[in-house]
Structures are given as structure tokens and as C-alpha cells.
Amino acid sequence: MGAKRSVSDLKTADLKGKRVLVRVDLNVPLDDNLNITDDTRVRAAVPTIMYLAGHGAKVILSSHLGRPKGVTPKYSLKPLVPRLSELLGIKVTMANDCIGEEVANLVAEIPEGGVLLLENVRFYREEERNDPEFAKKLASLADLYVNDAFGTAHRAHASTEGVAKFLKPSVAGFLMQKELDYLVGAVANPKNPFAAIVGGSKVSSKIGVIESLLEKVDILLLGGGMIFTFYMAQGKAVDSSLVEEDELYLATSLMEKAKTKGVSLLLPTDVVIADNSSPDANSKIVPASAIPDGWMVSDIGPDAIKTFNGALDTAKTIIWNGPMGVLEFDKFAAGTEVLFVHKIIDIEHHRFSIAKKLADLSGNSVTTIIVGGDTVAAVEKVGLANKMSHISTGDGASLELLEGKPLPGVLALDFGTAHRATEKVIKFLKSTVRTLVLRAVCCLLFEAVVQVAGVDALDNDA
């Protein structure tokens, strides 16, 4: 995926007085009273909006919220206007629609440096269908396009991919660029040793990520519910736990692939087990190979934490996706929290050990990237998000990028100057090579003709 042109490439001369359609990701959680419960995505959109407004652009914001089936009041973007206005320090105007004459009139009234928020684009079925006519109507509102919604970059929708066909330039916003810099950089050119931590409930949901990472990482640590399947594949006793028996062959093949690739694949050596799945369940720590009948695995144990910590201590790049334990119950979230959190826990006196080490690593030239909603929530829950190198706002988009899949919302954007220059150099070299080859062929043909002519002359003399 080549380097994309960024909003930072656009200056006042490019932006002043121009209508700029900005696809942002304002898909935030709301409570029953339609109050925002987590404004992370709203805050993440601010730098790009401020940059555009600061350079005199007329900013038109486009986003979705939830999965509405047609116009649904509870999925309106109106509740976001007060918080957005507060963060920007600008009074944001709200449209009642995202296309149409009324919206066009509102766009015409936007002052330089002003901001207009369009209504939920998913109120139209044409959005998710990437309908060309709908995309054209959206594009008609603006002079150029900025995509800053990394969380939807894996979707080929009208507002993420379709509009880019009608608006030039089409560039990446600051958030989009940051996501690509970290995630593509980690995949394509990581600082080694490169470690990945992958958790989650099912092997089947992480096949693509694990297989892709095995091609790139030096260390792979597995946790969460998926370890049950790996345990059974190793012949360990696992009872009352989620085992994907149809994925046992896959688990075995992944372990064999890790061995072939020289990847250090680590599974927890001990686990925290519980006699039921309730928050007040009885729990204890046992070796992974000695899980009693009737008990379920709820988290990784202290020895596993120590082993994981030691492995991570050697890494220069770390990607974490998926929880290590049962996050719903704080009692069983130690493994997840202790990996990246400076928090006191007291499991066999392992106070601070892993947490402090990871906090130190994050600030000591080690790149730490947190990917996935549950994982990000775990880090934010304990207040350590700001200690990580990068917290990804994408979920599905991040995973697909880590799997090596193309992202339609990114592919639709213009290439950066460096990429275009490289393309020109390659084109020039190809042209030069073709010319040289053609000249060489002509020379050979000429020599052949001369030689034949010389032979004919000798024959005539004879």
C-alpha cells in the first residue's frame, strides 16, 4: 500500500475558501438519554478539523452512527454537536440531511473557518451500497475530500470510497495518516525483535491475524479463550471451556508454522480457574496441564505473566490485540491489565513487575501499538492509554490491515509526492531500458544485414 497524500500537504492557498468534505468517525456510544459515554473518536477528529478551519476552509463533516435501517432518530448525529463545538471552540451547524437542496443551501452559507455537520449518512441505504449517484450527490457539496475515518477504511462505502472518484484532491486526515504510519510501519518495517500479543475467545476469529503475524514477528504470545483449543491440540485436559474442535488441526498447523518460521510462540504455562462464570466464583491458580473437571479457565496465571513479561522485555515493537482474560469480571482481568498497566495487583507478590516493565518499555524506544475495541477499552479503563505509542481507533480496519488486506477507503486516496516521484523514476527507467533494448536489437539487425550483404558481395565476385 503506497504512501498516501496527507492533509498536511495542503496549505492555505489550497484550502482558503474551499469546501472540504471530511469523512470522520463519530460512531460513539450513547446512553439512553443520548449522552456521549466515550468521546474518544470525537477528540480524535479534532486535529484535522482544526487544521482545515484554521486555513480558511469551509468544513463539511460526514459520518455514520450505529446501524440504522433508514431514518432512525436515536441514531441522529445531533447529540454530538455540543461536544464537537466545545472541543473545536467553534459553533458547529447541524444539517437535517446529508444531501439535497436544503443541505446545499447550508453549505453555501458556511463562512471560512466554519463547520457544518451532515446528518447520518447511513440513513440512506445507498451509503453502504456505495451507490455512485449517492456518492456523486455527496461530492457535489465540496471541492475536495479528506478521509479521517480509519475505523471505516475497510468499507467500500459511498462516503469512504465512492466520493473520492468525484473529488480531487482526495487525501488522508491526520488520524488516518497516523494509523497508517504506525500499523503499516509495524507490519512492513518494524523495529526488531517484533512481538505480538493476540487474545480473544476463538481461534477462528483470529486466523488471518495470526497467520499474517507469523510471517513477520519474532515472538507471538497467545491468551484469552483461544488458548483452550491450543491446549487440546497439545493433548492437555480442558474441561468446561470453549474449545473449537473443528479448529484443532488449524491450531496444530499454526504451532508447526511458528516452529518452521523460528517464531517463539508462547502459551500460558499456568492459568486462573473458576468453578463458574459468575463474578463471585471461587478461583485458584493451577498449571495449564492440570485443570480439574468442572472448572473453567478465566485468565492467565502469574507464572505466565512472568514468562510473557520476560519475552516482551526483549522486544522493540509490540502489537497487542485481544484481551488475555475475562474482562467483564475485574477479578479475572489481571492478565490483561498487568501486561500494559502500571497497577498494583497481588498475585504471588507480582506487584508492579510486568506493568512497570511495559510502562518503562513504552517510554524507552519501544513501539507499543494497541489494536481492537476490547483491548483499547482495557487499557483506557486503567488510565494508561497515554503511555502507549499508539492506540488504534480502528477495529475491523486495523485487523484487516494487519492481515495484509487492502483497505478500500485508503486505496481511493491520492498517492503522496514521494510515491508519485518513485512512479515517475520507475516509468523513466522502464522507458530507458526499452530504448536501450531497441537500440541493441537494431544494432544486431544492422550487423546481421551488413554481414549478409558482405557475403553476397563475395559470392558475386566469385
Name the grid cell of 352: 508492579
Name the grid cell of 32: 439512553
**Is residue 66 a known part of a binding site?**
yes
Tell me the C-alpha to C-alpha distance, in Å, between residue 209 and each of 115, 127, 141, 225, 349: 39, 28, 39, 16, 34
The catalytically annotated residue of 2, 113, 185, 373 is: 373
**Is residue 43 a known part of a binding site?**
no
**Is residue 417 a known part of a binding site?**
no
The catalytically annotated residue of 4, 5, 23, 41 is: 41
**Is residue 328 a known part of a binding site?**
yes
The catalytically annotated residue of 165, 396, 404, 405 is: 396
Q: Shortest CA distance to 320 belongs to which of 201, 229, 193, 220? A: 220
What DSSP state is assigned to residue 119? P
**Is residue 206 a known part of a binding site?**
yes
Spatial neighbors of 456 by CB under 8 A, at least 6 apart, are none
**Is residue 41 a known part of a binding site?**
yes
Q: Is 373 known to be catalytic?
A: yes
Within a 10 A sphere around the Cβ of 85, how many other Cβ atoms? 16
**Is residue 38 a known part of a binding site?**
no
Give strand pairing partners of 117: 61, 94
**Is residue 67 a known part of a binding site?**
yes
**Is residue 267 a known part of a binding site?**
no
Name the grid cell of 98: 446529508
Q: Is 223 known to be catalytic?
A: no
Burial class (CB within 10 angstroms; exposed 0-12, middle 13-18, buried 19+) of 415: middle
- Distance CA(41)–CA(149), nearest Å, equals 9
Name the grid cell of 96: 437535517
Name the grid cell of 81: 454537536
Give strand pairing partners of 19: 58
Q: Is 396 known to be catalytic?
A: yes
**Is residue 26 a known part of a binding site?**
yes
The catalytically annotated residue of 202, 236, 306, 331 is: 202
- Distance CA(387)–CA(350), nearest Å, equals 21
Handedness of CA 174, 176, 178, 184 (dihedral sign): negative
- Annotated binding residues for substrate: 25-27, 64-67
- Annotated binding residues: 25-27, 41, 64-67, 122, 155, 206, 328, 372-375
- Annotated binding residues for (2R)-3-phosphoglycerate: 41, 122, 155
- Annotated binding residues for ATP: 206, 328, 372-375
Residues known to be catalytic: 41, 202, 373, 396
